[in-house]
Chains A and B, each alone.
Chain A
């Protein structure tokens, strides 16, 4: 077979299979297939042939489907021996045929439902994966994260120092296991090109706690956690496959990591992830003597498993008591520090919860607006179908039976819409996860699964009742005799008209609430985006490297490597300047050190001050675009052997030298605080974590006076920075062929990533509010158009008696504005009230914007009124074109 033959549309085939009478189904479909094939064979375009097929299928369904069933259908009679299910199926078929006869209206209804249910399913999929599903570890409810905190300095959660961790582990009774861990990058130079591997190192019990069991070899032995015996490694499954081709005999072989030989003792099982990431190597963590003494150095992450029956609160109380004792024992380092225990689940998803709650509420409101719209459509149709219902009742259909049938029709609509909604949700969530893999925690667990399916099905059923029940009951209550007598000119009961108006008012009110929410987030994001980060991100590239210890144990060799790399990178075409830094702002990494001031009395314990710390090379401030405010930056002269110098930022000066000239002041700071440094310059502040930060004290030391193994190059480029990635790697490996490059990232990307969450949540809420606005406008249009068509005669009489077209136009518009106004008042009041109630959820999402933001509260009603007038204008103009003669004649 060279080519697949064109196929007739399967959906049309399936519909016919479902809806045609069984006796004729096979032959009729066969005929259509034969004709389709013949047309294609005769050279007709496949699209034309398909369109013909669809038309033929639909006309066949509507002409064939009803013939012999009409009477029974009309009575909605239950066939003898048929169960409820069969009855329901028959109603569903009938409903489907009715829907197919009005494809336009049906399409609008189904799209409305697909959007409403789809948005709900998508947000539920994310919520379910993140908040509701247990973490993928053994007995995850027992797992906790332990941190230190220092509330007097505003740190609610901080890393732990090794001696404090060791004391906790020795003294506490609440934990079955308590372990410290940290990420650790390794350079591997085995075999081909040098590679940087993502590693994880933990103390005894860590791997067992987070479910890391090897599929090959063994875990770590207790003695391997002793100092100097930890040169053993467990390989990640992917690395094992890639580097060793999945060979079984890797156990007991050695691998070179950071220039040291490590013995491979095991291979991790393939599904295991940590923090959603694939980890390449695991090593045991032990503490050197120096670490065991430095109680003031905070850099460990600590996790624990509670003993059965112990609660998070109890563990917190116990650790706080232990920490209070340590504070008394070691006031120099521990004064002001406390311990805090939180469940792992809370830590993993806590910061995403406010956004998800807001979005869940928003999609719920959108679905309500959609339901109100559909209910309105059904009410309008119920008026048209009043005679059908009257005939059914007249020949013996019960009221309950009619409600049942109309509800089944709604259910058919909701199920079709829900099915499409599921596709929308599947597409939306996978697009979100693919586009922003690191935006959400646990994102690898976000998928449409059985629970989501059940949710969607249930939601579709609830939706059907929501939008179908009121019209169905109202239709069943039709006055039989009046409807049949009144003939074609039935006006629709006043109660039904009131119901329709109420629905439109609530649609407007719901849309207002959503628009206010979206407006707040958009304004907040706008403010955030206007914040200057304090450095340039355009045409800047960050390139990170980490030099391995044994090879570069001498500071001179480190400086030499970076000097040579910088001069090679500077020579690259398209590179304007290059400089070094230990930490790139916005990258997520940080170093904070305490400071001591020469010539001032030492600060009492617990009142120490600290600042963000950067080691930078000459030209750093110019390259990254941080303005020099006073004094000088670092030069080539600031190297080993020359006087020790430092640069601080303006926030540092405001805090510590409010009334003095900072230049010439002497401080001790950083990794080796015995060294006194003289402040030679003051620079502008940079936003280090994200744009919403307040300015923090920051300090800089020259790299050449304190050589460091892990540094980042910052390149100012004339070209697109991403295009330089390959040549940058090439130049660095020309200096040391064994040296891998960890990451190259344009700074503009880093900045965009740091604002991705607020951007996405404002976009999402904006889209939802937009949908609600369109739905409300459609609803208003529908009610006004219907009202005008009902009042044709009245309008005709008015015009015959001398009313101007303009006054007719205004009359209709006024009616629309009364409905809109009622919705506006209710909506604004609800939005303000909701803002009050939800302050605690809203506040973390808003930046420099109050929940009762005046601009938003004024702009939203204006926008909505304009849209409402536009929606009402079409029916209003139609009203002015009523021909008085025609209208009077039809009286």
Chain B
């Protein structure tokens, strides 16, 4: 038995997973730890720890929603390389599905949501 990759029957996305996939989509070719974190902090006004991002990215990678490649070393970061993430077809599908669900659920609720 392994606890790390329990098979999922549907393309369900957790909230944090959804946010990260959206950030990767917005960042395009330049999605890695720092940029993802900056994007989330800027757009969602919540504090995010790098550890949590990596943990979730690991899970998304295990589900083959994203793939990672190793970038070239840069003089910043003490010469350490970056791990750049890219959306995979399965991830795009899950994202599309989740966003559609959200859109359906919020359809017609514009005024009510504003009033909350």
Q: Which A residues are closer than 8 A to B by beta carbons?
A: 24, 26-35, 37-38, 56, 59-64, 67-68, 70-71
The answer to whether A31 touches B77, judged by C-beta atoms less than 8 angstroms apart, is yes
Q: A30-B77, A34-B76, A56-B49 are in contact. Are A64 and B34 (CB under 8 A)?
A: no
The answer to whether A31 touches B76, judged by C-beta atoms less than 8 angstroms apart, is no
| Assembled-state Cα–Cα distance A32/B51 (Å) | 10
| Assembled-state Cα–Cα distance A30/B72 (Å) | 12
Q: A60-B54, A63-B55, A71-B1 are in contact. Are A31 and B33 (CB under 8 A)?
A: yes
Does any Cβ of A come within 8 Å of B11's Cβ? no
The answer to whether A67 touches B50, judged by C-beta atoms less than 8 angstroms apart, is no
The answer to whether A63 touches B51, judged by C-beta atoms less than 8 angstroms apart, is yes
Interface centre among B2, B70, B76 (most CB of A within 10 A): B76
Give the residue name and chain of the B residue nearest to A66 (CB): B55
Contacts of A38 in B (CB 8 A): 34
| Assembled-state Cα–Cα distance A128/B56 (Å) | 55
| Assembled-state Cα–Cα distance A28/B32 (Å) | 10
Does any Cβ of A come within 8 Å of B82's Cβ? yes
13 further interface pairs, Cβ-Cβ under 8 Å (given A31-B50, A33-B77, A67-B58)? A24-B83, A28-B51, A29-B78, A29-B80, A30-B80, A30-B82, A31-B82, A34-B76, A35-B34, A37-B76, A56-B50, A60-B50, A63-B52
| Assembled-state Cα–Cα distance A64/B56 (Å) | 10
Contacts of A29 in B (CB 8 A): 78, 80
Would you mind naming 5 contact pairs between A and B with Cβ atoms under 8 Å apart?
A24-B83, A27-B80, A28-B33, A29-B80, A30-B78
Q: Which B residues are closer than 8 A to A by beta carbons?
A: 1-4, 32-34, 37, 49-52, 54-55, 58, 70, 76-78, 80-83
The answer to whether B80 touches A33, judged by C-beta atoms less than 8 angstroms apart, is yes
| Assembled-state Cα–Cα distance A27/B51 (Å) | 11
| Assembled-state Cα–Cα distance A70/B55 (Å) | 14
How many contacting A-B pairs (Cβ < 8 A)? 75
Give the residue name and chain of the B residue nearest to A62 (CB): B51
Give the residue name and chain of the A residue nearest to B5 (CB): A68
Contacts of B82 in A (CB 8 A): 27, 30-31
A56 touches which of B4, B51, B70 (Cβ 8 Å): B51
The answer to whether A64 touches B3, judged by C-beta atoms less than 8 angstroms apart, is no
The answer to whether A31 touches B34, judged by C-beta atoms less than 8 angstroms apart, is yes
The answer to whether B49 touches A59, judged by C-beta atoms less than 8 angstroms apart, is yes
Contacts of A62 in B (CB 8 A): 51
Q: How far is the CB of A254 from chain B (nearest CB, A)?
A: 64
Q: A27-B82, A37-B76, A64-B55 are in contact. Are A32 and B50 (CB under 8 A)?
A: yes
B54 touches which of A28, A35, A68 (Cβ 8 Å): A28
Contacts of B32 in A (CB 8 A): 27, 31
The answer to whether B81 touches A27, judged by C-beta atoms less than 8 angstroms apart, is yes
| Assembled-state Cα–Cα distance A62/B78 (Å) | 23
B4 touches which of A24, A61, A68 (Cβ 8 Å): A68
| Assembled-state Cα–Cα distance A60/B58 (Å) | 13
The answer to whether A67 touches B49, judged by C-beta atoms less than 8 angstroms apart, is no
B51 touches which of A60, A68, A70 (Cβ 8 Å): A60
Q: How far is the CB of B34 from chain A (nearest CB, A)?
A: 5
Q: How far is the CB of B111 from chain A (nearest CB, A)?
A: 40
Q: How far is the CB of A347 from chain B (nearest CB, A)?
A: 58
| Assembled-state Cα–Cα distance A63/B16 (Å) | 15
Q: How far is the CB of B61 from chain A (nearest CB, A)?
A: 10
Give the residue name and chain of the A residue nearest to B1 (CB): A71
| Assembled-state Cα–Cα distance A510/B34 (Å) | 55
The answer to whether A63 touches B49, judged by C-beta atoms less than 8 angstroms apart, is yes
Q: A60-B54, A63-B55 are in contact. Are A34 and B49 (CB under 8 A)?
A: no
Q: Is the interface of A mostly helix, strand, loop or mixed?
A: helix
Contacts of A67 in B (CB 8 A): 4, 55, 58
A-B interface, 10 closest residue pairs, ranked by CB to CB distance from nearest: A30-B80, A60-B51, A31-B33, A27-B83, A30-B77, A63-B51, A33-B77, A34-B77, A59-B51, A59-B49
| Assembled-state Cα–Cα distance A62/B51 (Å) | 8
The answer to whether B49 touches A60, judged by C-beta atoms less than 8 angstroms apart, is yes
Contacts of B55 in A (CB 8 A): 63-64, 67
The answer to whether A27 touches B33, judged by C-beta atoms less than 8 angstroms apart, is yes
| Assembled-state Cα–Cα distance A60/B57 (Å) | 13
Contacts of A70 in B (CB 8 A): 3
Contacts of B80 in A (CB 8 A): 26-27, 29-30, 33
Contacts of B83 in A (CB 8 A): 24, 27
Contacts of A33 in B (CB 8 A): 76-78, 80
Contacts of A31 in B (CB 8 A): 32-34, 37, 50, 77, 82
| Assembled-state Cα–Cα distance A30/B79 (Å) | 8
The answer to whether A34 touches B34, judged by C-beta atoms less than 8 angstroms apart, is yes
| Assembled-state Cα–Cα distance A70/B34 (Å) | 27
Give the residue name and chain of the A residue nearest to B79 (CB): A30
| Assembled-state Cα–Cα distance A425/B116 (Å) | 64
Give the residue name and chain of the A residue nearest to B52 (CB): A63
Contacts of B76 in A (CB 8 A): 33-34, 37
| Assembled-state Cα–Cα distance A60/B55 (Å) | 9
| Assembled-state Cα–Cα distance A582/B43 (Å) | 88
The answer to whether A24 touches B50, judged by C-beta atoms less than 8 angstroms apart, is no
B81 touches which of A30, A61, A63 (Cβ 8 Å): A30
| Assembled-state Cα–Cα distance A869/B8 (Å) | 60
Give the residue name and chain of the A residue nearest to B55 (CB): A63
| Assembled-state Cα–Cα distance A32/B78 (Å) | 10
| Assembled-state Cα–Cα distance A67/B34 (Å) | 22
| Assembled-state Cα–Cα distance A350/B76 (Å) | 61
Q: How far is the CB of A826 from chain B (nearest CB, A)?
A: 50
| Assembled-state Cα–Cα distance A64/B55 (Å) | 6
| Assembled-state Cα–Cα distance A28/B83 (Å) | 9
| Assembled-state Cα–Cα distance A56/B82 (Å) | 18
The answer to whether B51 touches A64, judged by C-beta atoms less than 8 angstroms apart, is yes
Q: A33-B78, A37-B76, A64-B55 are in contact. Are A28 and B1 (CB under 8 A)?
A: no
Contacts of B77 in A (CB 8 A): 30-31, 33-34, 37
Give the residue name and chain of the B residue nearest to A55 (CB): B49
Q: How far is the CB of A624 from chain B (nearest CB, A)?
A: 68
Contacts of B58 in A (CB 8 A): 24, 67
| Assembled-state Cα–Cα distance A60/B49 (Å) | 8
Contacts of A37 in B (CB 8 A): 76-77
Give the residue name and chain of the A residue nearest to B36 (CB): A31
Contacts of B4 in A (CB 8 A): 67-68
Q: How far is the CB of A762 from chain B (nearest CB, A)?
A: 52
Interface centre among A26, A33, A64 (most CB of B within 10 A): A26
Q: How far is the CB of A804 from chain B (nearest CB, A)?
A: 49
Q: How far is the CB of A204 from chain B (nearest CB, A)?
A: 67
Q: How far is the CB of A96 from chain B (nearest CB, A)?
A: 16
Q: How far is the CB of B81 from chain A (nearest CB, A)?
A: 6
| Assembled-state Cα–Cα distance A71/B3 (Å) | 8
| Assembled-state Cα–Cα distance A68/B55 (Å) | 11
Give the residue name and chain of the B residue nearest to A24 (CB): B54
Give the residue name and chain of the B residue nearest to A60 (CB): B51
Contacts of B2 in A (CB 8 A): 71
Q: A27-B33, A27-B83, A59-B49 are in contact. Are A64 and B78 (CB under 8 A)?
A: no
The answer to whether A28 touches B50, judged by C-beta atoms less than 8 angstroms apart, is yes
Contacts of A32 in B (CB 8 A): 50
| Assembled-state Cα–Cα distance A617/B9 (Å) | 109
Q: How far is the CB of B5 from chain A (nearest CB, A)?
A: 9
Contacts of A34 in B (CB 8 A): 34, 76-77
Contacts of A63 in B (CB 8 A): 49, 51-52, 54-55
Q: How far is the CB of A8 from chain B (nearest CB, A)?
A: 9
Interface centre among A28, A38, A56, A70 (most CB of B within 10 A): A28
| Assembled-state Cα–Cα distance A61/B52 (Å) | 10
Q: How far is the CB of B112 from chain A (nearest CB, A)?
A: 36
Contacts of A64 in B (CB 8 A): 51, 54-55
Q: How far is the CB of A62 from chain B (nearest CB, A)?
A: 7
The answer to whether B81 touches A26, judged by C-beta atoms less than 8 angstroms apart, is yes
Q: How far is the CB of B68 from chain A (nearest CB, A)?
A: 9
Q: How far is the CB of A359 from chain B (nearest CB, A)?
A: 46
Give the residue name and chain of the A residue nearest to B71 (CB): A27
Contacts of B33 in A (CB 8 A): 27-28, 30-31
Interface centre among B4, B49, B76, B80 (most CB of A within 10 A): B80
| Assembled-state Cα–Cα distance A24/B37 (Å) | 16
